[in-house]
């Protein structure tokens, strides 16, 4: 749930365990992949995996950037509902004949 992630980001006290929890929650609640964060912060996917598991953490300045970015993403995320998601693309084929 994005609101839970947003609250965790706002309450983050700089601790490494909280940082790991925020990264892990962002992967779950925002539907992000390790590669998404890896591209954004120019690190390897395995690095993001280590962040999420708490095995490693980046420099404190980078941690602040990651948490701020995830907080913004959580703020933009639509609230989840129990209804089935509407498809983005129409299933109807469009004719190109002319």
Asked if the structure places residue 67 within a domain, the reply is yes
Q: What is the pLDDT of residue 77?
A: 76
pTM: predicted TM-score of the whole model, two decimal places: 0.75
Please tell me the total count of domains within the chain. Answer: 1
In a domain, 93, yes or no: no
For range 42-46, the mean pLDDT: 95
Q: Using CA atoms, how far apart are residues 35 and 13, in angstroms rounded to an integer?
A: 26
pLDDT at 3: 87
pLDDT per position as a tens digit, 47-92:
999 999 999 999 999 999 999 999 999 988 776 543 334 444 444 4
Whether 43 is in a domain gets the answer yes
Mean residue pLDDT across the chain: 83
Secondary structure letter of residue 91 according to DSSP: S
Assess if residue 53 is contained within a domain.
yes
In this prediction, residue 88 carries a pLDDT of 41
Share above pLDDT 70 across residues of the chain, in percent, rounded to a whole number: 78
12-15 own/partner pairs: CB under 8 Å, 24+ apart = 12/67, 14/60, 14/63
């Amino acid at each position: 749930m994005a609101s839970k992630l947003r609250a965790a980001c706002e309450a983050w006290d700089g601790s490494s365990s909280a940082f790991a929890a925020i990264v892990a929650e962002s992967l779950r609640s925002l539907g992000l992949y390790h590669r998404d964060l890896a591209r954004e912060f120019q690190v390897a996917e395995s690095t993001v995996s280590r962040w999420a598991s708490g095995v490693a953490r980046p420099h404190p300045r980078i941690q602040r950037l990651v948490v701020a970015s995830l907080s913004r993403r959580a703020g933009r995320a639509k609230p989840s509902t129990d209804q089935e998601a509407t498809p983005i693309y129409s299933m109807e084929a469009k004719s190109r004949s002319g």
